[in-house]
Structure 1
Amino acid sequence: MDKKQHKYKNLKSRNQVTSNKTYVFGLAVAVFIALTPYLYSLYESVPETKVWRTFLFEYNSNHYEDANLAMWVLTGKLLPLILLLLWFFTCRHWWYHALLVPIIMYSYQIIVFFNDEYTYIDELQLIYLLPFMAIIIPSIYLVRARIFNRLNSVDQSIQDLEDELTFKPKTIKEKIRQYF
């Protein structure tokens, strides 16, 4: 009996440590999302000169009027990319792979931003995005077709089927944890 109680106590403390890590991670994500308006406005601290010199690096804005404009463009592409990646890795729905299309689009735009050969950032993105879309969109359609095929053959409602495919917490604690 003493061994079982000791084993249960160890398991309970291990689950509590994991639970605390989950809460800390959820808190960090929530704080990051709350700070995104501030992070977006960081470009305002960049000087309006062609060359931006700091003690860490020197940035020369070749294709832009000044470094401030270049950082405005970069933050306008980087923050949505980070938020989309966060959404992609935390999404519990069956369609989360559709988020790969804008993730790839923003990634391409950021790569082109740092490449000095291109003068227009958004010029050819659709051509490079097409192969990815050719894989992702049919895959999502196949998942959707399987869902509706199963829906028609099993006599389940759409809500029942979506409930089956999504994570549903059983306790109040798990319901709160699903948001963090």
Structure 2
Amino acid sequence: MIKQQHKLTKHQSKFLQRANGKIIFGSVIATFIATSPYLFYLYESVPKTKVWNTFLFTYHSGFYENANTAMWILTGKIIPLLFLILWFWTCRHWWYHALLVPIAMYLYQIIALFNDDNQFIDELGLIYLVPVMAVIIPSIYLIRAQMFNKLNDADKSLQELEDEFKIKPTGLWGKIRQYF
């Protein structure tokens, strides 16, 4: 038997590199989704003390009185935020910009979590989201309106094309030919 060596063309090589990259990226996303319950429960490894010392930083819990509670609230905000960001970057729908509103909300809540003066992180968040919503909601409406106009224009041009090809029936034989 003679061994045949297959040499990949430049195009095939690039295709395989892209396919491998997509497989790796998809594997990372799938691993993140599968491990998300474990990521949420990371707060259980945080001590129930006012000061939490790690080799990277020292966290002083203000309002929550222990670091464990603060990290429980943080994981309750950061895991949905990560899922929304993942959805935003992988979404192929035209309305994906609407995801920026809840992303902004979670970001605001996470920032407010670390502000010791702010005891009510979920109360005034909607007020701070008004500028974000004022930009995103009209933008989404304009995108939708443009899509609607393009679809209607396509329907009109298809109707004009159909009208152009229609045979104007003249007499009995003309009507019969119209159906065949």
Normalising by the smaller structure, the TM-score range is 0.7 to 0.9
1:100 aligns with 2:100: yes
Percent of matched pairs sharing the same residue:
61
Residue 110 of structure 1 deviates from its aligned partner by: 0.9
1:151 aligns with 2:151: yes
Q: Name the structure 2 match of 1:43.
A: 43
Q: Name the structure 2 match of 1:23.
A: 23
CA distance in 2, matches of 1:48, 1:116: 18
Query: Is the partner of 1:155 in helix, strand or coil?
Result: helix
Residue 148 of structure 1 deviates from its aligned partner by: 2.4
Q: What does residue range 1-180 of structure 1 map to in structure 2 within 5 Å?
A: 9-155=9-155
Residue 116 of structure 1 deviates from its aligned partner by: 2.4
**What amino acid is the match of 1:16?**
L
Q: Which deviations, in whole Å up to 9, do the C-alpha atoms of 1:14-54 show, x marking residues without a partner?
A: 22112111110110111011110110011111111211122
**What amino acid is the match of 1:42?**
L
CA distance in 1, matches of 2:11, 2:30: 28
Change (3 A) 1:16 1:109: same
**What amino acid is the match of 2:22?**
T
Residue 147 of structure 1 deviates from its aligned partner by: 2.2
Residue 112 of structure 1 deviates from its aligned partner by: 1.2
Q: Which deviations, in whole Å up to 9, do the C-alpha atoms of 1:40-89 show, x marking residues without a partner?
A: 01111111121112233221110103111100000011111111111101
**What amino acid is the match of 1:45?**
S
* TM-score, reference length from structure 1: 0.77
5+ residue gaps in structure 1? Answer: 1-5, 157-180
* TM-score, reference length from structure 2: 0.77
Higher Cα radius of gyration: 2
Query: Is the partner of 1:52 in helix, strand or coil?
Result: strand
Query: Is the partner of 2:47 in helix, strand or coil?
Result: coil
5+ residue gaps in structure 2? Answer: 1-6, 157-180
CA distance in 2, matches of 1:57, 1:85: 26
**What amino acid is the match of 2:134?**
A
CA distance in 2, matches of 1:110, 1:78: 7
Query: Is the partner of 1:55 in helix, strand or coil?
Result: coil
**How large is the Cα RMSD of the aligned pairs?**
1.9
Residue 13 of structure 1 deviates from its aligned partner by: 1.1
Bigger shift: residues 14-23 or 35-44: 14-23
